[in-house]
Amino acid sequence: MHVWHRWYPRRSPVRIEAELIAERPTACSAPRKTSALFSGGVDSFFTVLRHDVGSVVSSSPVSDLLYVWGFDIPLSNAASFRGLHTRLRSASERLGKHLVVIATNLRECLEDSGSPPDKRRIRFRKRDWGCFYQGCALAAVGLLFESVYSRVLIASDLTYDEFLSWGCHPLTVPLLSTSETRISPDGAGFSRTEKTAFIAGSPAVQHSLHVCWANRDEYNCGRCPKCYQTMLTLEAAGKLSAFDVFDSKRLNLGELKRLFVNESYDYMYFEQIVEFASQSGREDIAKAIRDCLVTSRGKARFRPLVNWLSAQRVLWRVGKAIRQTWYAERF
């Protein structure tokens, strides 16, 4: 909590009082396994493939993949969950793993965005999911199976040299371990582009990769920053055409300039792709990304003015139109 307090000074450490357990519970006689939280994204596929049977990385390969319905796809969207579940189950079978599905309303309760302010139990903003409590939520899922798994892997989306304040940071994730189950961050020694290139040749990944958070459904929209990051990296690696989860024909470098990049971590990922594309001989991709980032920084300067226009009784339609065209906001 002191780490989080340094990152977020407005959140204070909480005193925890609990009864001491005099004796540790009797350990399960059956050998316990290693599992990995699994969303079907780049980071989680990298962790699974990296810890596969025969890998020199781990003497205890991943046996079970834990997918949580309610974190990326809302519980209310059962149709999208079924579609994604079919793909992830197929990928798990190809990889020789057992897919375990957990359904939870934890994220809905924490954000509770549909209730009036005076009825909300816990008031987290939606962006706090990534910045603050994502790691705790993932660890809580793993610890539900404390008697089954001796180790639970959580794929890192940051590297050790990226010192962002982040809810699933490799510095804080291990602190969520217990005496029975070790919560381990994985993959923090590799950049997102390195991970994408590593998994790009796997048929299981090519038919099942799911990276999009914009629509919160089973599809990759192909237009949000995360979809663009993945598609551009795959294109630079010469593998995009093998991925039927993306419409490769929709990747138009000329349209990339219209994408608005807002978050600092998205700038970081795009800059990694610039370097990777240049090294791969795709200077056209590198130039398109540079132009996009320059344009985004320019648009960001006008954001306060556009927000002001949106709040005016007469000019709100102008502000709304700009937010839709410049910033790709949805209403």
Q: Each residue of 205-221: pLDDT tens digit? A: 999 999 998 878 899 99
Q: Each residue of 261-310: pLDDT tens digit? A: 988 889 999 999 999 999 999 999 999 999 999 999 999 999 899 889 88
Question: pTM surpassing 0.85?
Answer: yes
| Beta-ladder partners of 103 | 69
* Region of poorest pLDDT, from 10-14, 42-46, 96-100: 10-14
pLDDT confidence of 120, banded at 50, 70, 90?
very low
Spatial strand order in the sheet of 98-103: 98-103, 64-69, 33-37, 149-155, 182-186
pLDDT confidence of 129, banded at 50, 70, 90?
confident
Q: Each residue of 159-168: pLDDT tens digit? A: 888 777 888 8
pLDDT at 4: 80
DSSP code per residue over 154-197:
EE-SS-TT-----TT-TTTGGGG--SS-EEEEE-TTS-HHHHHH
pLDDT confidence of 123, banded at 50, 70, 90?
low
pLDDT confidence of 243, banded at 50, 70, 90?
very high
Helix axes 303-310, 283-301, angle to 10 degrees: 50
Residue ranges and CATH numbers for the domains of the chain are: 30-192 (3.40.50), 221-301 (no CATH)
pLDDT confidence of 94, banded at 50, 70, 90?
very high
pLDDT at 23: 66
The span from the CA of 291 to the CA of 301, in Å, is 16
Q: Is the pLDDT of residue 30 over 80?
A: no
Q: Pick the residue with more confidence: 309 or 114?
A: 309
pLDDT confidence of 32, banded at 50, 70, 90?
confident
pLDDT at 246: 94
The residue whose two tokens read 């629509």 is: 215
Give me the mean pLDDT over the 239-259 stretch: 90
pLDDT at 65: 98
Q: Is the pLDDT of residue 247 over 90?
A: no
